[in-house]
A and B are shown apart, each in its own frame.
Chain A
Amino acid sequence: MARRGIREYDAKRVFYRLMQRYTNDRLTFDSDLVMVDPNTDLSRLADDYPWLNNKRLVVKPDQLFGKRGKSGLVLLDASVDEAIKFIKTKMNKRAKVGRTAGKLTHFLIEPFVVHELEYYVAMKMESHGDVIYFSTKGGVNIEDVWDSVVEIVVDPLGERPFDPSPILSKVPKEQRIILETFLQGMYKFFSSHDMTYLEINPFTIVDGKISCLDMVAKIDDTAIYQNPEVWGDVEFPPSFGAENNPEEAYIKSLDEKTGASLKLTILNPEGRIWTMVAGGGASVVYADTIVDLGYSKELANYGEYSGNPSTEETYLYARTILSLMTKEKHKSGKHKILVIGGGIANFTDVANTFTGIIQALREYADRMKRVGVRIYVRRGGPNYKMGLEKMRKVGDETGIPIKVFGPELHMTQIIPMAFADDTRGVK
């Protein structure tokens, strides 16, 4: 699908393991890490991980968000008891980070390292090549000292290998060998396993040993098949604050089980306009048009189905949306609007995909009439005439107002049409 963030815990776990290989065992790391989630038995933690008793610790949430220190969510230089107490007070509690609020569920515990030096390094996949950023002024305020950042680009065809010398010239002589080994190893790790982003900010060097204090990693999840031994057991957490509600989670689980694509995001459960659009591109265009015409507050969901879902899958998908939109009448008393839209399909059989939707419409017909729903359909492609005919029939049989169009109508025209019907008072 795309680039996805992984937990710091997973990133470090894999990084420490593979860095040994990529530095030919010339670098070793303190690889003690513990991940605590809501199912962890905290009373057994110190027994299960005895090293926790022997070291000073750092605890922080591990849920794909940054600025944790600034948000007061990092505990430094703590004993194991203090760490557990800290986690207990935060676990399953909501926290606000920047503009986003979400529930804290995952914490990373690792050894606390006393240090002064803070270096910044990041590697990023860009269209013109892999870009390596480095600064000797690492830490939380790296954006403020961006002038200090050295930037090296490795071309995508790998014709010139990564040469870290512009970075090495910035650091004291005695650090150059260890740093070169580290950076070369890190780049091999980054570029060999389909990572799209890897940031260590800061890392430090204490007594000739490198410690990674904070790590952010994103990987290209389409490439996992190429690295099953590296990323096979890695989890892709939802972004912070984006916890799925049950319906979203259900569609997500359907999506994961099929080769087709089924997406649902609920924007405003009290919204009046619900969309059920075929195609990744078309679904965006429909949502755009609703927003561009000034009805963004009324848009209830974003969603799409594509990639030739089976009748069963479209039925379950449609049912989920219908169950949400028929929960109650709209507070304005106006009709709700259901947009069953789509472009002109290349090869998806429209009549077939409509079969599942129609099944759901029949099932929810009474509830739709109770709540008051008008349906607007627009679609083209193989067998579309038959598909549209079936839709018209549902309208006739159930008495739900339905308007049905093919390619003769501009794709998004049903949106202004629906609003015009509103103002004309069409029920």
Chain B
Amino acid sequence: MEPYLLFSTESKAIVYNLQERAIQRMLDFDYLSQRETPSVAAVVNPGNTGVHKVFWGTKEIMIPVYPGIKEAIDAHPDVDIMVNFASFRSAYPSTREALLNERIRVVAVIAEGVPERRSRELAHLSKKLKKIIIGPATVGAIGAGAFKVGNTGGTLDNIKEQKLYRRGSVGLVTKSGGLLNEMFNIISHNTDGVFEGVAIGGDKYPGSGLLDHLLRYEKNPKVKMMVALGELGGDEEYHVVEALQKGLLTKPLVFWVMGTCSKMFPTEVQFGHAGAKAGDERETADAKNAALKSAGAIIPKSFDSLGDEIARTFISLQDQGRITPVKEPETIPLIPIDYAEAVKKGMIRKPTSFITTVADDRGEEVNYGGYPISEIVHSGGKLGDVISLLWFGRRFPKWASEFIELALMIVADHGPAVSGAHNAIIASRAGKDLISCLCSGLLTIGPRFGGAIDDCAKYMEDAFERDLAPREFVEEMKRKNVKIPGIGHRVKSLENPDGRVTILIEYARKNFPRTDLLDYALGVQGITTQKKSNLILNVDGTIGVLMVDMLRGTDFFTHEELKEIVSLGYLNGFFVLGRSIGLIGHTLDQKRMKQRLYRHPWDDILYLVEKK
């Protein structure tokens, strides 16, 4: 490649830092320019390896990701450019490392706010090594139809509009990265387009200067005229003046130095760019424009007539027959619009695969069933309110949400001997993690352990709805040979009631608007205890029927909805949730006490294995 070229259609880069959108834009540009291969060979994402998925036209391809610059360059011998998206803190070490790697020829540094001493060192280092830095504090550069640095050139529409996908005859260099697109626009309206465009960045010590790039354009036979946009402050433009005077720049050069307004500012104003501050008269835009004009550059009257001067210069070159007409590509590849953008513009629609009514995390704050968490907390909401919102999509009245909490407290644990806790303990002692132990315990919950809440509610509700008298219900269950769930306790009886049941019933009587199902269940208990005094409504049964009474009492649900709630297993959910508290306790308890692997003793197992 000729040394005066920044980029060719074969140029390949590594991108430092995973800037997904910028990388995609580079590849879209490549595709539009009909490059044979993508310009991004690899991504350096410090500390990470893997692959990054991008579109090449409509096809998805993988770009490898490396943890460091050296690894990326070693793996990709065809790379000679680094597009550096490092932060202002890491821009210096990463740029330096790239420059010192003999294969890297060009580094574009995007970061703003790189310390001046660092940038100055990098600028000198790159000159010494005969390499080129673009930036810092720039959007980058573009070789029309060849290579695009990061976000340069803006959107795909803009690239098409300004025909940046093929080479024109104008070499452009600006200080401002923000105005690079504007300059592409002006040039595309008034000439056959740019050959190359570079924004050197607004910092005090850019890695390469206006003159560096103009000298490259001077040597490039495809560049017929040059356009430069400078700025007040610094002496970049005077290097150009000197070069003009020495005859080093002979091609027509249209130049404008912005900042002519500074003269009317009463005190020193820092303009947008760090380098844009006129220290003395010589550094003002007016002085620079005048010096450039007297050295032979073409200077418009104001920025407003810059386009006219560019057009005039181009037409005169054309008249002299010095412009070879640009061969427009026969077709320009179509790049489909990105899904996200199309959605934003309302151009497409797509059925969703999921639906939710529980919570929404898309806004400023997560909301539960429509209420922001902070609002729930500030309005005095408790766990019961959260459960009512997340499970039922409604905020229950206080008496109901407090009842939920009461039930959770009561079912939270039942000692180490019951199935769930026992399983959790065994798993914990086998060295399994908390979640495995918890699951191991929860997996025992079902028809025989803890399932009575659901089942009791189901049967009682059904019988109650069918207007069966409690006696008829008991007889029906007996006929079906089904033990009534929620009835019966190992030791407790009518004479020696279960304190937990008492608390629940007292709460309900005091706070619930109605307790129809409880009353029905107690009717059933009246029948069963006639047979045996421990066939009482137990704690699971009580919770089951009271949950139904609670849901009825809120008046939120229709009869059908209620039936569905019960059949979907909602009520069991209260047991699972509450008991998880105990299971976690048992699991951690075993771990804290460093209990070793449990092995059940032989003498506790009846071996009936026949010897064969």
In the complex, the answer to whether A292 meets B124 with C-beta atoms within 8 Å is: no
A111 within 8 A of B: no
Q: How far is the CB of B176 from chain A (nearest CB, A)?
A: 3
What is the 8 Å Cβ interface bit string for chain B, positions 366-405, against chain A (1 contact, 0 not)?
Answer: 0000000000000000000000000000000000000000
Q: Is the CB of A241 within 8 A of B181?
A: no
**Are B304 and A241 in contact, CB atoms less than 8 angstroms apart?**
no
Size range of the chain A interface in the assembly: 35 or more
B272 adjacent to A284 (CB under 8 Å): yes
Query: A220 vs B204: C-alpha distance in the bound complex, in angstroms?
Result: 11
Q: Which residue of B lies closest to A345 (CB)?
A: B154
What distance in Å separates the Cβ of A57 from its nearest Cβ neighbour in chain B? 31
Tell me if A279 and B261 are in contact (CB < 8 A). Answer: no
Q: Which residues of A contact B28 (CB under 8 A)?
A: none
Q: Does B114 contact A (CB under 8 A)?
A: yes
A1, B272: Cα distance in complex, Å: 9
B304 A415 Cβ-Cβ under 8 A: yes
A282, A288, A306, A347: the one within 8 Å of B151 (CB): A347
B236-265 Cβ-contact flags toward A at 8 Å (1 or 0): 000000000000000000000011110111
In-complex Cβ contact of B116 among A220, A282, A290, A411 (8 A)? A220
A194 at the interface (CB under 8 A from B): yes
Is the CB–CB distance between B202 and A346 below 8 Å? no
A-B contact count (CB 8 A): 187
Q: With A and B bound together, what is the CA distance between A378 and B489 in angstroms?
A: 81
Q: A157-B124, A242-B267, A302-B265 are in contact. Are A292 and B154 (CB under 8 A)?
A: no
Q: Count residues on chain B whose CB falls below 8 Å from chain A CBs.
A: 68
Inter-subunit contact B139/A222 (CB<8 Å): no
Contacts of B345 in A (CB 8 A): 386
Smallest beta-carbon distance B82→chain A, Å:
20
Which chain B positions have C-beta within 8 A of A281? 174-179, 202, 231, 258, 272-273
B307 at the interface (CB under 8 A from A): yes
Give the docked Cα–Cα distance between A83 and B285 (Å): 45
Contact residues in A for B277 (Cβ distance below 8 Å): 2
Q: In this assembly, does A237 line the interface, its C-beta being within 8 Å of a C-beta of chain B?
A: no
Asked if B505 is at the interface of the complex by the 8 Å CB criterion, the answer is no
> Which one of B118, B121, B267, B272 contacts A306 once the chains associate, using CB atoms below 8 Å?
B272
Docked Cα-Cα span, A410 to B271, in Å, equals 22
> Could you give, for residues 271-292 of chain A, a 1 whenever the CB lies within 8 Å of some chain B CB and a 0 otherwise?
0000000011111110111111
Is B276 at the interface (CB under 8 A from chain A)? yes
Within 8 A of B (CB), among A1-24: 1-3
- Docked Cα-Cα span, A279 to B276, in Å, equals 14
The listed residue (A125, A155, A306, A383) touching B117 by CB distance below 8 A is: A125
A343 touches B261 (CB 8 A): no
Does A249 reach chain B (CB closer than 8 Å)?
no
Beyond A157-B121, A280-B178, A343-B179, 10 additional contacts (C-beta under 8 Å) are A2-B277, A157-B125, A263-B272, A281-B202, A284-B231, A288-B258, A304-B272, A345-B154, A346-B139, A411-B303
Offer 8 A-B interface pairs, CB within 8 angstroms, sorted by A. A223-B117, A225-B89, A281-B231, A292-B260, A292-B302, A292-B303, A344-B158, A380-B158
List residues of chain A with CB under 8 Å of any chain B CB: 1-3, 100, 125, 127, 155-157, 191, 194, 196, 220, 222-223, 225-226, 239, 241-242, 261, 263, 265, 267, 279-285, 287-293, 296, 299, 302, 304, 306, 343-347, 380-383, 386, 407, 410-413, 415-416
